């Protein structure tokens, strides 16, 4: 019988906490506790200050206390080794305000996930920054690694509301231009814009030698199109309405969505960009593990 996901990693549970710092702490501490019990616990042993021993490391840097507790070799990390700069880029356009019944909005999911990632990064002594965009870049906080700065980022994520229309491609190009030192770029968006423009922006980040993770956030109904017999669809950005019976268009929609997702997957893979498809029902540990896996590969 598969192990049940702890409630503190479920988006609809986390969303009940009004305070973003509490959300981030609950998710990250629960995630770390889960790592200790999982096959991935090599990631988890006081990972803010330690990393696994690698061939060529000096034996004098082995932490023997950790070895005594875990029977594994870990190296004490020093400040100069943890100089990753990360940029969290969150789509706040109006389409991100969508939520199907019983789910959190895509924006709330992205904000909670970004807060958790920022909390995790700062506690790993990495520098983290934040950019918010809709039709343009509405906020840009360059990366820093202090706890005080983390609070500033969490405050920016605290009360996000769906903004205006979207121009993801153009806005992401603007963010790429503002990044002065290469680092790890994590984009959280529903990517509901012209794929040609969005993919060109992804390539812009790579051209500037950044590592990139795209976290593609959709609503479960956007993925399944499992609406009832009759439904009224409203474009959240133009407010145009259409009444239809969803079964008439479900097959065509499924094919179009599959082509949309597969194109992002394929082109991201071709340009060494990590692509992660999520929906607002996906437990947060899935995305956090993707980040940690990437972080390990950057050592």
Structure confidence at residue 80 (pLDDT) = 44
The list of the chain residues with pLDDT below 50 reads: 1-2, 39-48, 79-81, 231-234, 236
Whole-number pLDDT of residue 248:
55
Which domains, and CATH codes, for the chain?
45-81 (no CATH), 82-297 (3.40.50.410)
pLDDT given for residue 6 in this prediction: 76
Instruction: Kindly give the pairing relationship between strand 184-189 and strand 241-244.
Output: unpaired
CA distance 275 to 90: 15
Say what the pLDDT of residue 187 is. 98
Residue 45, C-beta contacts closer than 8 angstroms, at least 6 positions apart: 66, 69, 70, 72, 74
Nearest to 129, CA basis, from 139, 116, 144, 115: 144
Q: What is the pLDDT of residue 240?
A: 63
Tokens of 19: 């305070």
What pTM was estimated for this model as a whole?
A: 0.80
Q: Tell me, what's the pLDDT at 250?
A: 66
* pLDDT 10s digits, 235-244: 545 556 655 5
């Amino acid at each position: 019988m598969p192990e049940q996901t702890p409630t503190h990693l479920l988006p609809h549970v986390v969303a009940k906490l009004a305070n973003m710092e509490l959300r981030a702490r609950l998710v990250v501490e629960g995630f770390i506790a889960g790592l200790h019990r999982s096959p991935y616990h090599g990631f988890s042993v006081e990972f803010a200050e330690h990393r696994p021993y690698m061939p060529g490391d000096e034996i004098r840097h082995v932490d023997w206390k950790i070895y005594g507790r875990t029977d594994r070799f870990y190296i004490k990390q020093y400040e100069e080794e943890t100089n990753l700069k990360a940029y969290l880029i969150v789509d706040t356009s109006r389409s991100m305000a969508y939520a199907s019944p019983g789910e959190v909005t895509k924006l709330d999911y992205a904000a909670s996930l970004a807060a958790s990632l920022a909390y995790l990064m700062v506690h790993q002594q990495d520098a983290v920054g934040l950019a918010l965009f809709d039709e343009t870049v509405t906020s840009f906080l360059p990366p820093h690694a202090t706890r005080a700065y983390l609070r500033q980022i969490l405050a920016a994520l605290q009360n996000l509301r769906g903004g205006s229309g979207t121009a993801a491609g153009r806005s992401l190009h603007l963010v790429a231009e503002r990044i002065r030192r290469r680092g790890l770029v994590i984009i959280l968006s529903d990517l509901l814009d012209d794929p040609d423009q969005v993919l060109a922006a992804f390539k812009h980040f790579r051209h500037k030698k950044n590592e990139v993770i795209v976290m593609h956030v959709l609503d479960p109904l956007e993925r399944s199109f499992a609406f009832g017999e009759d439904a009224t669809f409203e474009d959240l950005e133009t407010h145009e309405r259409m009444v239809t019976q969803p079964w008439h268009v479900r097959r065509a929609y499924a094919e179009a969505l599959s082509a949309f997702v597969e194109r992002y997957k394929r082109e991201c893979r071709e340009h060494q960009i990590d692509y992660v498809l999520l929906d607002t029902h996906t437990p947060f540990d899935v995305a956090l593990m993707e980040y940690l896996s990437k972080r390990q590969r950057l050592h």
